[in-house]
Amino acid sequence: MLLTRVAEGNREAFAQLYDRFSSPLYGAAMQILRDTAEAQDVVQDAFLTLWEKAATFESSRGSAFSWAVTLVRNRAIDRVRMRRRRSELLAESAPEDLGYFAGALQAGGDESATQGDEARAVRAAVATLPPEQQRALELAFFGGLTQEEIARKLREPLGTVKARIRRGLMKLRDSLADRL
Amino acid sequence: MIDEHGVELACLHALGLLDQTDAADLGEAAGPGSPLENLVRDLSEAAAALALAASTPPPPALRSRVLAAIGSRPEGRENL
């Protein structure tokens, strides 16, 4: 496994890991931060953490990719929350219509064949979700909003938002079952 | 059989939205090898896959920067 070799200090394996993960990680960071410099900083920081902590990775808890996405997402959302605190805009600063998935659905012209296949499969799976489920998931995943914040933003009951998130993610899991 | 609350907690975990109380509840309910633990893992993978939908190649200079940065850092430091 690639991460095992990284944990052994294999720099070539680390370079392969970078080549495999960097596009989705950078794309996710860009969707969250909307700033190229900050996205690059976050991705670099996440890769350094992967390098330093590869030996602590437990495959029984999930994939290396899932771990890497969590590292990037947490760092990017922390930065967004710091921005919000600074500007005292909190939930209001979350974009109204960034169209995360709409933008993502058009992305990907420069990917490798394998990455392109995976990305296309996920985009196709997302596209099958009802728009309101896509919206709730994008605000949670890329917007870093809590369910309560999403409910306020969409002016929908909390229970409705919870149901949309739950149904959307479950359906996504089912759609991607043979790829995950 | 996983009840509706368990499914909700698993979804929240996958999206990084669990608060401490819910995280403790999930930790108790999702024992090793349990159906809920499997659901948590599956949903976490599905959520992570959303990053693939956003795939965008980073600037080439970032690769050089990252590889240069690890050159000055020890690996597996957490286990030392």
Residue B43 near chain A (CB below 8 Å): yes
User: Chain B partners of A146 at a C-beta cutoff of 8 Å?
Assistant: 17
DSSP A143: S
| CATH number of the domain to which B24 belongs | 1.10.10.1320
Sign of CA dihedral A151, A166, B51, A58: positive
Per-residue pLDDT, averaged over A63-75, amounts to 95
The model carries a pTM of 0.86
B29-44 pLDDT, tens per residue?
888 888 999 999 999 9
With cut-offs at 50, 70 and 90, classify the pLDDT of residue A177.
confident
Nearest CA in chain A to B38: A61
What is the CATH number for A121? Answer: 1.10.10.10
Q: Is residue B78 part of a domain?
A: no
Q: Into how many domains does chain B fold? A: 1
Where in the sequence is the domain holding A134, given as residue range(s)?
A: 116-180
Q: Amino acid identity of A136?
A: A
Which residues constitute the domain of residue B63?
4-72
φ/ψ (deg, to 5) at A120: -65, -40
Same domain? A86 vs A133 = no
Residue A78 inside a domain? The answer is yes
Do B54 and A111 count as a contact with CB atoms less than 8 A apart?
A: no
The verdict on A145 and A87 lying in the same domain is no
Amino acid found at A129: L
> Does residue A143 lie within any of the structural domains?
yes
Q: For chain A, positions 54-93, list CB contacts with chain B under 8 A.
A: 54-56, 61-63, 65-66, 69-70, 72-74, 77
Which residues lie closer than 8 Å to B69 by C-beta, 6 or more apart? Answer: A44, A47, A48
What is the number of domains present in chain A? 2
Model pLDDT, residue B73: 65
Inter-residue contact A108 to A121 (CB < 8 Å): no
The closest of A25, A26, A42, A28 to A138, measured between CA atoms, is A28
A21-34 pLDDT tens trace:
999 999 999 999 99
Shared domain for A30 and A89, answered yes or no, is: yes
> Residue B27 domain-assigned?
yes
Judge whether A100 lies within some domain.
no
